[in-house]
């Protein structure tokens, strides 16, 4: 294989190829091609067994070897042996599975459930897969048992103190990523590194580091082992691209259509060059990024791996191509579209309980546009616009467009983003630069890096290449309040879950209630943090990510994995879920019991115990108290108190490997399952009902005062207490934004939210009627996108509970 060619020869080769590249550029793409490729992504995902199978085979072969080496060799085997393919019409090539839209198996994380749910996967009401063919099922039965007791979740379960294990998925949902069957994801790998240096360039650095090591030194020897693993993965990735080069060449030889033949030849040339070598054109850069991304995902399938600031790092090559006349803005836009479409080919199968936490099948490939440059200037460029425009005709669920809003951001750019958001029923996230930069500074990043931030996953601020910033499981804040009101006993489970904080009937003041709640948080938050930390510990020990690590600064120099403190900065969060319910509940008690004295604590507690059955008066009085989301200081201040107090608890300890321990306010889609384990709340929510979605979005349907009031409630929170991010979800009727003038007002609404302390805001711009129609006729609404959590999903692929939850959200109409 060409893999072994010397660098010198590679350079010579590229020079030769460089001469011919004028005529070998991408000629044209066309709407038809984009439409065809897009259509193919609107299919039910299929399970691909290859990754799981090859991983298993490799692990059997490498028993006894260092863990990092085993990981690297497993990745190399998968990349070498997995099925590859180039579809008709494709110009950017590379598949992460053998399927069109394939689900990867990660038995090294969890394994047993695949066998248990093999049939269920195609019939369950959330994240449904196509039925798994018999041969695949047989294969799964053959290799999955190997992992019994070896999967990370088995190790996690064995490490957690037995008496605390029962709190998992009660106090906190999704605490152990390994139990969710997902790697951390949220990669902020810097693609600039791969574009500029290529795999070969990185490998040279690895070799240089290895050459410096004194193998007699224990810690340096560890580095040696680790860097050897990195090297294996870099070579494996180059060989993977090489397989595509060969495939394209073979296909070209057989191709009779002259145009396609030329395209295949171009693909062959390109994959021969990148990602092994630096990219010389915009097209090469996209192909290089794509293969790199695939390898990164195959190494560690997880959600929200970002391309981060693609409009920034791709700009120099784009500009060069435009100046050389080898690309037009239209062509660049179409290439971006091909790239977006590719990001939709992979999904992660989650065990059913976890699928309800992370419903919607998206990997969420984040593209962050605009914002500031390192020296504080407006960063919007032509490519920022092209990335936005490209999305208009793609509008699939995985590519995730985030628009940074700063006072310096041009109105034209904000308007373009609003236009695209409207066309895509809401699918663009808007993010405040001012707030986010403050958050990054608070967590210790220097200003020039903070200005270059991006977002990974749902809402995690990060700095590509410099920092790994991972969210965490979702702490069920309403449950903690329930415990404070019920002397530590969970109403639904009926067990002592938290400390005994006294019979709430005897509470004479609001402060007593607050103290009980605080005690529950102080006692149970450390459990949540421990769950998180053990998870991180296990990933670092058994599931390092040497390939991904090579795309961060310092991991090679430090000889440490990104998930083991190798990056200059890192934060690990836990998410606060349902804080608005806690705020609404505390406000209702404060007002109705301790101030207006309309109710006694005893009456409230009796009513809660009865789930408000026959207690309509109590329900009425509690429901009439101020609710978060209406710019009412009485309750908004309490929500902020809750966030501040919880955040302080989380920050008391360090995270794994010296990281900062911080908070997010988010739920993904766990607001539904977390609600299952919470009884009736004093805010009027009944037992088992969903809790507020999005972490800081007002509870569904309670924000009735208008959009600006909702925004101000959220913008006034101290977002430096939730530095891993949060989400405000708002729903607008499309009529409310129907013409240019109204869209202009919408843009100013967003600007003001971002400039007055808000963080991330996103919209569903789809009418209740449309959503109800889609429930009735799913076949006609296959590509109707909605925002769930912070990502987009196809409405018709969601469970009925989640669909109803979206419909229940406050819709702002034209009035």
Partner 1 sequence: MDEVRAPIFHIIHGSFVDGYGIRTTVFLKGCPLKCIWCCNPEGQKFHPELKVSAAKCTGCGNCVSVCPVGAIKLETDAGNVRLDIDRQLCTNCFKCIDVCYTGALDRFGEYYTVDELFAVIKKDEQFYRSSGGGVTIGGGEATCYPEFVLELIKRCKENYIHTAIDTCGFVTSPEGIKALEEADLLLFDVKGIELAAHQRNTGVSNEPILQNLKRLDAIGKPLIIRVPVIPGYTDSEETLNGIAELLGSLKSVERVDIMAVHEFGKVKYAQLGMEYKLNVEPIPPERQERIKALFEAHGLNTQLGG
Q: Which residues bind partner 1 (CB under 8 A)?
A: 616-617, 619-620, 631, 705-709, 711-712, 736-737, 739, 741-742, 744-746, 748-749, 751-752, 755-756, 812, 814-815
Could you give the CA distance from residue 432 to residue 430 in angstroms, rounded to a whole number?
7
Minimum gap (Å) between residue 671 Cβ and partner 1: 24
- For partner 1, which is the closer residue by CB, 523 or 713? 713
Number of CB atoms found within 10 A of residue 241's CB: 28
What contacts 301, CB < 8 A, 6 or more positions away?
Answer: 51, 104, 106, 182, 183, 185, 346, 348
Residue pair 599/593 in contact by the 8 Å Cβ criterion = yes
- For partner 1, which is the closer residue by CB, 517 or 746? 746
Minimum gap (Å) between residue 744 Cβ and partner 1: 8
3-state SS, one letter per residue, for 637-703: HHHHHHHHHHHHHHHCCCCHHHCEEEEEECCCCCHHHHHHCCCCCCCCCCCCCCCCCCECCCCCCCC
- For partner 1, which is the closer residue by CB, 620 or 652? 620
Q: Sheet of 399-405: strands edge to edge?
A: 365-370, 399-405, 429-432, 760-765, 728-732, 811-812
User: b/e for 14-35, b at 16 or more Cβ within 10 A?
Assistant: beebeeebeebbbeebeeebbe
- For partner 1, which is the closer residue by CB, 662 or 811? 811
Q: How many residues does the chain have?
A: 815
Give the closest residue to 76 by CA, choosing from 103, 58, 95, 62: 58
- For partner 1, which is the closer residue by CB, 243 or 744? 744
Minimum gap (Å) between residue 557 Cβ and partner 1: 46
The DSSP call for residue 489 is B
- For partner 1, which is the closer residue by CB, 720 or 752? 752
- For partner 1, which is the closer residue by CB, 36 or 756? 756
Minimum gap (Å) between residue 751 Cβ and partner 1: 5
- For partner 1, which is the closer residue by CB, 245 or 418? 418
- For partner 1, which is the closer residue by CB, 320 or 744? 744
For the CA atoms of 524, 525, 528, 529, the dihedral, rounded to the nearest 10 degrees, stands at -140
Minimum gap (Å) between residue 697 Cβ and partner 1: 16
Could you give the CA distance from residue 397 to residue 426 in angstroms, rounded to a whole number?
12
Minimum gap (Å) between residue 742 Cβ and partner 1: 5
Minimum gap (Å) between residue 368 Cβ and partner 1: 23
- For partner 1, which is the closer residue by CB, 39 or 411? 411
Minimum gap (Å) between residue 707 Cβ and partner 1: 4
Give the closest residue to 386 by CA, choosing from 416, 419, 423, 427: 416
**CA distances for 620 relative to 443, 607, 684, 701, angstroms:** 43, 11, 8, 16
What backbone torsions phi and psi does residue 579 show, to the nearest 5 degrees? -55, -40
Minimum gap (Å) between residue 485 Cβ and partner 1: 21
Could you give the CA distance from residue 236 to residue 571 in angstroms, rounded to a whole number?
30
- For partner 1, which is the closer residue by CB, 157 or 756? 756
Cis ω before 275 (30° cut-off from 0): yes
Residue pair 152/542 in contact by the 8 Å Cβ criterion = yes
Minimum gap (Å) between residue 738 Cβ and partner 1: 8
Minimum gap (Å) between residue 639 Cβ and partner 1: 16
- For partner 1, which is the closer residue by CB, 468 or 728? 728
3-state SS, one letter per residue, for 366-426: EEEEECECCCCCECCCHHHHHHHHHHHHHCCCCEEEEEEECCCCCHHHHHHHHHHHHHCCC
Residue pair 71/108 in contact by the 8 Å Cβ criterion = no
Minimum gap (Å) between residue 380 Cβ and partner 1: 18
């Amino acid at each position: 294989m060409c893999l072994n060619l010397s660098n010198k020869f590679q350079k010579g080769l590229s020079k030769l190829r460089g001469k011919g590249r004028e005529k070998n550029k991408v000629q044209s793409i066309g709407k038809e091609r984009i439409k065809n490729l897009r259509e193919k992504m609107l299919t039910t995902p299929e399970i691909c067994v290859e990754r799981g199978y090859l991983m298993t085979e490799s692990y059997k072969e490498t028993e006894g070897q260092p863990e990092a080496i085993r990981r690297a060799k497993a990745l190399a085997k998968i990349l070498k042996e997995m099925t590859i393919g180039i579809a008709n019409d494709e110009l950017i090539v590379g598949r992460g599975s053998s399927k069109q839209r394939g689900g990867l198996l990660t038995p090294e994380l969890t394994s047993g459930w695949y066998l248990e749910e093999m049939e269920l996967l195609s019939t369950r009401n959330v994240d449904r897969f196509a039925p798994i063919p018999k041969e695949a099922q047989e294969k799964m039965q053959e290799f999955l048992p190997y992992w019994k007791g070896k999967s990370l979740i088995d190790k996690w379960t064995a490490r957690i103190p037995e008496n605390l294990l029962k709190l998992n998925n009660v106090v906190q949902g999704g605490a152990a990523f390994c139990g969710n069957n997902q790697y951390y994801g949220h990669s902020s790998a810097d693609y600039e590194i791969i574009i500029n240096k290529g795999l070969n360039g990185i490998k040279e650095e690895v070799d240089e580091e290895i050459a410096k090591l004194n193998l007699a030194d224990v810690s340096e020897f560890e580095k040696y082992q680790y860097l050897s693993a990195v090297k294996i993965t870099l070579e494996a990735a180059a060989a993977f691209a090489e397989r595509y080069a060969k495939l394209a060449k073979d296909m070209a030889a057989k191709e009779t259509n002259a145009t396609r033949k030329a395209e295949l030849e171009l693909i062959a040339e390109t994959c021969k060059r990148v990602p092994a070598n630096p990219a010389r054109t915009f097209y090469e850069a996209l192909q290089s990024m794509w293969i790199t991304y695939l390898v990164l995902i195959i190494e560690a399938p997880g959600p929200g791996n970002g391309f981060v600031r693609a409009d920034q790092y791709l700009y120099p090559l784009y500009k060069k191509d435009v100046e050389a006349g080898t690309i037009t803005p239209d062509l660049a836009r179409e290439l971006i579209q091909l790239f977006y479409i590719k990001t939709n080919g992979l999904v992660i199968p989650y065990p059913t309980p976890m699928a309800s936490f992370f419903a919607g099948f998206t990997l969420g490939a984040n593209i962050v546009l605009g914002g500031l440059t390192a020296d504080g200037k407006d960063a919007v460029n032509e490519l920022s616009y092209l990335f936005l425009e490209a999305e208009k005709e793609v509008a699939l669920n995985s590519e995730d467009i985030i628009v940074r809003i700063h006072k310096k951001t041009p109105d034209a750019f904000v308007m373009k983003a609003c236009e695209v958001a409207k066309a895509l029923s809401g699918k663009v996230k808007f993010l405040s630069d001012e707030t986010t930069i403050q958050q990054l500074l608070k967590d210790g990043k220097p200003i020039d890096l903070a200005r270059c931030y991006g977002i990974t996953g749902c809402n995690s601020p990060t700095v590509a290449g410099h920092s790994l910033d991972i969210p965490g499981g979702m702490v069920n804040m309403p449950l903690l309040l329930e415990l404070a009101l019920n002397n530590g006993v969970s109403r639904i489970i009926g067990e002592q879950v938290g400390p005994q904080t006294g019979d709430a009937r005897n509470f004479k003041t609001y402060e007593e209630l607050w103290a009980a709640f605080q005690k529950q948080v102080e006692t149970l938050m450390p459990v949540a943090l421990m769950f998180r930390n053990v998870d991180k510990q296990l990933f670092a020990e058994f599931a390092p990510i040497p390939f991904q690590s090579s795309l961060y600064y310092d991991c090679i120099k430090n000889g440490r994995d990104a998930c083991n403190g190798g990056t200059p900065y890192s934060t690990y969060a836990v998410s606060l879920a349902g804080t608005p319910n806690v705020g609404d509940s505390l406000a209702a008690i404060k007002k109705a019991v301790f101030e207006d004295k309309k109710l006694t604590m005893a009456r409230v507690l009796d009513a809660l115990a009865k789930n408000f059955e026959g207690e309509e008066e109590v329900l009425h009085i509690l429901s009439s108290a101020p609710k978060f989301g209406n710019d009412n200081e009485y309750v908004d201040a309490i929500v902020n108190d809750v966030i501040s107090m919880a955040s302080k608890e989380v920050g008391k300890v360090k995270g794994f490997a010296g990281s900062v321990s911080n908070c997010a306010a988010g739920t993904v889609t766990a607001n539904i399952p977390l609600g299952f384990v919470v009884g009736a709340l004093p805010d009027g929510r009944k037992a088992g009902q969903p809790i507020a979605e999005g972490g800081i979005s007002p509870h569904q349907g309670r924000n009735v005062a208008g959009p600006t009031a909702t925004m101000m409630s959220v913008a006034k929170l101290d977002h430096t207490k939730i530095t891993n991010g949060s989400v405000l979800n708002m729903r607008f009727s499309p009529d409310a934004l129907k013409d240019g003038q109204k869209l202009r007002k919408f843009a100013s609404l967003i600007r003001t939210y971002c400039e007055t302390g808000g963080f991330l805001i996103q919209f569903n711009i789809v009418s209740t009627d449309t959503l109800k129609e889609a429930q009735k006729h799913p076949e006609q609404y296959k590509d109707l996108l909605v925002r769930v959590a912070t990502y987009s999903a196809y409405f018709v692929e969601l469970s009925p509970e989640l669909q109803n939850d979206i419909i229940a959200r406050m819709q702002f109409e034209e009035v």
